[in-house]
Each structure stands twice: as C-alpha cells, then as structure tokens.
Structure 1
Amino acid sequence: MPKSIAIDGPAGAGKSTIAKKVSANLGFIYLDTGAMYRTVALKAINEGVDTKSQNDVEKIVENIDITISHENNTQKIFLDGVDVSEAIRTPEVSAGASNVAVFKEVRLKLVDLQRKIASDKNVVMDGRDIGSYVLPNADLKIFLTATVDERARRRYEELLQKGQKVDFEEVKADMIIRDNNDSSRTFAPLVKAEDAIEVDSTSMTIDEVVEKIMYYYLEAGKTSPLQ
C-alpha cells in the first residue's frame, strides 16, 4: 500500500522546499501540485485568456496536456509536450494560478491526476487542500505556516536570486491577495485538516522543519505500519 504525506499551507510557507527534502529522506516521490495550477495559468496567459474568466479557463482545461516526470527527485512539468518548469515561476503566473485554482472544473481535473500518481507511488505532496481534500487518508498531514511578512520575505529573496526585478511591498500585497483567494474559494479551499499537525516555520530553519516532520512521520509509524 503506497504511503503519503500531505503538506498544506499558504503561499511562501516553504512547502515545496520542505517537501522536497522530506521526500528525498524517505525515498518518496515529491509532487508539487501548485505547479499544475501554474501550468494551467501559463496556458491561459499564452493564449490571451483572462485567468479570472471561468468559462474561458474551463474550455482550455478540457484539452490541456499536463505531464510530470521525476529525475533525481526533481519534478519536471510539461505543458503540451514543452518543459515549463521554469516558465511557471514568474509573478504573473503566480497570480494567475491563484485565479484559476478557484474554478471547480480545473481542480477536479488536476486532483484526478494527483490521486492517480499517489495511488501507486509513495508520495510527499504539497499544496493548499491535500490533506483536506486530495488525500484525506494521507498517513501524515502537516499544515505549514509562517507570518505573512516572513513568507513575503522568502518569496522576495527567491525571486531576486532568479534575477527578477521585484518590489517587496508588491510581493507582500500579491501574497495577501493569494491568501484571500485560496482561503475564500467555495470548492476545496485552503484549510487546516482536522487531523493535521500545524508547524509554524517563521523562526525555524529549513533543516529544523524537516527534522520535525520526520519525527512526526516516524512517531506515526509506531502506532501504524508506515514502512
């Protein structure tokens, strides 16, 4: 029976970074679900479609081709056969991803793909609604969070390192908007699952967060056969 760890939380909480390290430690596949929504947004932007237009976005999703591969624990995502792993990491696509993620048809299509991957592979999956909706029976559920100022600082520094010219206040404002979009959507919103363990990473290092999650996973294994 494949094992799964769900890591949910708001934008900039460090989910992807943490999930990659935890998956590497366990030898699991890492699945960045947010990348899938970014890919839908990129498709819309490339075709001149407003990411806030539900009808237009849902038409795009009907025939979209999203495939995922893993090489040395690194996820590569392809849109219509083209590697868009880097192209989906711009602020414009980030905002668009938050817009398209509120549409039910988009989520249903992508969740189906996510569940198929988790059905036959051990996975660490991160996103907004993994523990609450995508993988309600995950072996371990983590809700990773941090203050909005800290999350904005992390994203700001990440974008600077990639050579993008960004303004901190704009990054923070965008994050607040994304938080609101993610938490207020009617279908599968960002929410802490009842059985999730909350981890506030504001004053923690990456390694400290990883160590804590590994501890929780191993502790869970003492009461249920995880391995």
Structure 2
Amino acid sequence: MTEKDRTAGAPSRQEEDTVAQANGRALVVAIDGPSGSGKSTISRRLATELDLAYLDTGAMYRAATWWCLRRGVDLTDVDGVAAVVRQMPLVMVTDPAAPRVVCDDVDITEAIRASELSAVVSRVATNLDVRAELGRLQREIIAAEAGRNGIVAEGRDITTVVAPDADVRLLLIADETARLARRAKELHGTADEATVARTRDEVVRRDADDSTVSTFMTAADGVVTVDSSAYGVEETFEAVLSVVEAARAGGR
C-alpha cells in the first residue's frame, strides 16, 4: 500500500513499524516442506492471521527460470544461468492478501505457474550459484520485514539455510498420496486416478531433483514437524498456529 492509498488519519508505514518494534511484535516464521504439503496455503493464512508479510521463496526460483527463458539462456549452462539471475530485476510483493511477483516490470505471478515452466524449474533451482544469489535476496527481504511487523517465509531450505535463526521454524510434511491428490486438485480441479498420475511426475520428480541440494523431508534440530497427511486445511492451520503461539508465549 502506498501513502496515497491510506485513509485520512491512518498511521504511516513508518509509524506502524515503530509501534510494531516497540510492542515486540516483529516475528520471523520459517516454513519448509515438499510439494503438496500445504505450506503455501498455510503460510499465507498464517501471515494474514498474524498481520505479517509473506514470502514464497519457491516463486523466486520460478521467476528466475522465467527470466532465463525470456533472456534466451540455455538452462543447462550453469554459469550463464547464474550470471543472468544476478542481474534479474525482481520485485517480490509480500502482502499475503495479494502476493505478486514482478520481473522486469512484468507481473509474472500467474505466468510462473505454467506447466511448461514447472517442468524445467529444477534446472535453475538446483544451480548452486543461483541458490546462493536468491538466498541472499531472501535474507534481505526477511531482514527488512523483521524490522517491521515480521514475516512468514516458506520454501525448502528456509529453516536450515536462509533463516536458521527464525523465531519459529517448522517443517510441514504429508505422505505422497496426500500430496499428489492436493497438487492434482490445485492444478486440475480434480484428484481422480488419471489426474493424479499426470501430476506425479511434476511432484515426485521435482522433490527428487531439489533434494539433491536441499533437505526438506527431515526436520533439522530445533525444527518442529507438522504432518498434515490426515489433516484438512483448518486442522493443519490450527496445528501450525498453536506452534507459533506457543513459541511466542515462551519468549521464542
């Protein structure tokens, strides 16, 4: 929101940030998990509930892939991809009510979810130099929002690499059957046998590829695991919220 969007008499962003810091409300929550675990849905809802910013770090890898394709870079060219990503003009809008991804002044929030891009994003996401660069950007965003009200950041290595000192660190998991059904319904609107089969490659292969550079199926020390296999959204959200509230009550 810009200053001109505010109603008369409403506090400025700077005033809100000062009050937030004075009240000790700044909070950093890191949530990792595999595809279909529900981490994006839960993270956005948690950020909304607690009035925090929201960062989908996976979207940053998708944006990097989109940018490389736009620039005509061969995704198998490790050095070339890394060089282009370092120059990527990326803006992450962290409003949980309307998170957006903007690159080169183009809103690519929807474009980066295309199946064609999903099929190749691991080529960029497993590039170690790209991970280092995007990790740097992620830490900058998290640090900036931590100086305000706080942030919920979700991805695959947030609890271990990007924000290991987060106030709350969670690993959200689910068994493969549940994850495939959720992703099929999300992408295709149904979870029948044929649709789940079509979704399997994207989910299982992507997790397998990314697991070569990140551990996100086993919780590191100090990370709380929430298994959502048998839970619906409401139950999962309540379980995650209870962990966060317990951490806040215990002085983090």
**TM, length-normalised to structure 1:** 0.89
Could you tell me which amino acid in structure 1 is paired with residue 225 of structure 2? Answer: E
Q: CA deviation at 1:52?
A: 3.4
Of 157, 160, 172, the match for 1:129: 157
More displaced 10-residue stretch of structure 1: 150-159 or 64-73: 64-73
Identity %: 33
Check the 8 A contact 2:100/2:107 in 1, yes or no: yes
Could you tell me which amino acid in structure 1 is paired with residue 141 of structure 2? Answer: I
Check the 8 A contact 1:29/1:73 in 2, yes or no: no
Match of 2:188 in 1: 160
After superposition, the Cα gap between the structure-2 partners of 1:120 and 1:47, relative to the gap in structure 1 and judged at 3 Å, is closer
Match of 1:143 in 2: 171
1:58, 1:8 → 2: CA distance?
24
Q: CA deviation at 1:222?
A: 2.4
Task: Render the CA deviation track for 1:59-108: whole Å, top value 9, x for unaligned.
Answer: 32131111112446321111111000000011222232222111122112
Task: Render the CA deviation track for 1:28-83: whole Å, top value 9, x for unaligned.
Answer: 00100000000011122333434333123113213111111244632111111100
Check the 8 A contact 1:7/1:141 in 2, yes or no: yes
Asked whether 1:106 is paired with 2:130, we answer yes
1:209, 1:15 → 2: CA distance?
10
Match of 2:47 in 1: 23
Could you tell me which amino acid in structure 2 is paired with residue 114 of structure 1? Answer: Q
Partner SS for 2:99: strand
Of 203, 208, 218, the match for 1:180: 208
Match of 1:211 in 2: 238
2:75, 2:96 → 1: CA distance?
33
After superposition, the Cα gap between the structure-2 partners of 1:193 and 1:92, relative to the gap in structure 1 and judged at 3 Å, is farther
Could you say which structure has the larger radius of gyration?
2
Check the 8 A contact 1:132/1:192 in 2, yes or no: no
| Number of aligned residues | 220
1:222, 1:194 → 2: CA distance?
21
2:111, 2:224 → 1: CA distance?
33
Could you tell me which amino acid in structure 2 is paired with residue 192 of structure 1? Answer: A
More displaced 10-residue stretch of structure 1: 22-31 or 47-56: 47-56
Match of 2:14 in 1: none
Match of 1:68 in 2: 92
Partner SS for 2:120: helix
Match of 2:13 in 1: none
Asked whether 1:95 is paired with 2:119, we answer yes
**TM, length-normalised to structure 2:** 0.81
Please give the root-mean-square deviation of Cα atoms over the aligned residues, in Å. 2.0
Task: Render the CA deviation track for 1:139-166: whole Å, top value 9, x for unaligned.
Answer: 111101111222111111111249xxx9
After superposition, the Cα gap between the structure-2 partners of 1:70 and 1:222, relative to the gap in structure 1 and judged at 3 Å, is closer
Task: Render the CA deviation track for 1:180-218: whole Å, top value 9, x for unaligned.
Answer: 111112xx4435221111111111011111111111111
